[in-house]
Chain A
Amino acid sequence: MKVALRIQRFNPDTDKSPHFEDYTVESELTDRILDAILQVKGLTDGTLTLRKSCAHGVCGSDGMRINGRNALACRELIMNHKQPIVIEPMKGFSIIKDLVVDMEPFFNKYKSVKPYLINDEAAPAKERPQSEKDRMKFEDTTKCILCACCTTSCPTYWADSDFVGPAALVAAHRFIFDSRDRAGEERLDIVGEKEGAWKCRTIFNCTDACPRGIQVTQAIGEIKRKEIFG
């Protein structure tokens, strides 16, 4: 059946500002929105530019704004969306072309919280054991795939691009609450700043947007509690 799409287009070489264009494609209702967009690219207009890689909700490349909500296009079925389905790039980053945004600021924020295990104690002969209970403390935040759906759904981030953003806070949470890590204090200092966890206004857009179902706002809340009570 026919599916109507309204896609935001922007070509930096010819356009001053983004505009919308309407497309109609033949698709099954059980197809995903990514399929419909790829049909536009394949059959109607090959210049339509977007990121996608695995197309199965694992790599996190095709985060975009779909009918006003951030999601991975490969995880959204056409039948669950009102038509015309409005497709926009994620908000808060500068647009490179069409649906492709500049993710550099996002990854810089991610790197700023030192998202890797830091432990300079002598390596044990076998491994660093961890109890199941300790592991469950950060189980949720290990699921992040860095798609940026959370950070670009955050009104605080839209208003203040200095804000470290929910994704970086999720990454910080993943190591702060890891019993094997030794740099928790350092990370708490980094995200305990004005532009860190305290900038979070508990709007919950991030939690809504996360395609992995991470309880982002709760993770930020746990960081805040740790900042206060240690």
Chain B
Amino acid sequence: MKELSLNILDIAENSTKAKAELINIEIIENSDTLIIKISDNGIGMNAETLLSVTDPFYTTRTTRKVGMGIPLFRFAAEQTGGNLTISSRHIDEHPTNHGTIVSATFNKNHIDFTPLGDIVSTLVTMIQGHPMTDYVFTHRIGDGLISLDTREMRAVLDGLPLDTYEVLCWVKENLTEQYKAL
């Protein structure tokens, strides 16, 4: 992946596949470190699946259900001397408090650091693809904060779908202006 924002788009897709109603995307950034945390309230994974998603070669099954998304994201973090952690609570064992948290830490000054890239485009794409899912996005850069909460938008929109073109444009412009104001 050329941008970490593309990894985020890819990982968040797993959350919607896991029937998440709410996906939280948190980026925390200072001069040295970038942390990306994606958490959801989807059905979660059991211990075996959890192992197989972090290491694509863990399983010998030929009908592998998981893809290369997490390994690629992990590699992007590890090649900067950072790391990726993933934890999950499966709905069968945790009926009321289930979901998955993927957290990756990057050393920004490492030569192999992949830039974050067009995160605004990633958010617009996620909302366009899954307008029924809610997203909470926060990006902390030093003391600055950029944020978007589709639950607040939904309250205003009163039934107008989030993937309405004018609404997607609003998301893009709102976030772009927040980044410019930093």
> Is chain B a partner of chain A in the same complex?
no
